[in-house]
Structure 1
């Protein structure tokens, strides 16, 4: 049987989680105030731009969400005329998402999204460490009985 975790280690973990969530929350509020879009919308735009256009499925995979979740983000960005859906020349059934000129202008001024920084930090870690971290976080979620909590994006009403 393992010994109980030290109070210092518990404090360190709680503080790290607070820093991560606070940074993402503050970022999301600032982006909304300055640019009129949510953090997830900015992250989606940045991802579409980095990929030079992509499908909704590719976007969902990059944002670490279910494809149905990204649908609302895409619709809102289209309504704001920041992205377009275009049919692929080689397959007229397939649709590619691209930034509009207004979307590109906004992106030139906008910061890099905090949620994207979290994903990049995880991608920079050793795969075994990410796997262990995932297992430990799932254990915490299970212990707190949070398995049924829907959490698509941090601090966003995006669906």
Structure 2
């Protein structure tokens, strides 16, 4: 293996390791997985969303969101109820415990990345986006259940 190949693979391992360590820290501090926190934050940002709105906002499949919501509801962090105006719609809301987790959850890893990324010149930002898209293509990554966590101050639908 060439030195350049080793450097690329080492960088990939560092990214994977940082993500893994942050996920463990998040789970230890909040008791939530990254996916669960993404869902809780989406519910917080969207204010009484439907399951499909959460799935869209978090770029997760309906099946994945439903499974996560089942666990969050079982743990008393969200509640689901039928809409009064349209009984076909299921509305998701945070419980007081879920709202408290939103406030005290650790800062997401991607927030730190985005802060640093935004300080880069736009040319360098574009190079990073192009390189990462290329890496994802080389790794045969398709559209997956992976999205940045929504921020409380941004519209995600």
Q: TM-score range by the shorter chain?
A: 0.5 to 0.7
5+ long unaligned stretches in structure 2: 119-124, 147-157
Asked whether 1:84 is paired with 2:79, we answer: yes
Q: Which residue of 1 aligns with 2:90?
A: 95
Asked whether 1:68 is paired with 2:67, we answer: no
Q: Distance in 2 between matches of 1:48 and 1:78?
A: 13
Structure 1 residue 91 displacement after superposition: 1.5
TM-score of the two chains, using structure 2 as the length reference = 0.67
4+ runs deviating over 4 angstroms: 116-121, 129-133
Q: CA 1:31 to 1:136, structure 2 compared with 1: closer, same or farther past 3 Å? A: closer
Q: Which residue of 1 aligns with 2:137?
A: 138
CA RMSD of aligned residues (A): 3.2
Q: Which residue of 2 aligns with 1:3?
A: none
Q: Distance in 1 between matches of 2:107 and 2:60?
A: 19
Instruction: Give the length in aligned residue pairs.
Output: 136
Q: CA 1:20 to 1:60, structure 2 compared with 1: closer, same or farther past 3 Å? A: farther
Counterpart of 1:96 in 2: which secondary structure?
A: strand
Structure 1 residue 85 displacement after superposition: 0.9
5+ long unaligned stretches in structure 1: 1-5, 154-159
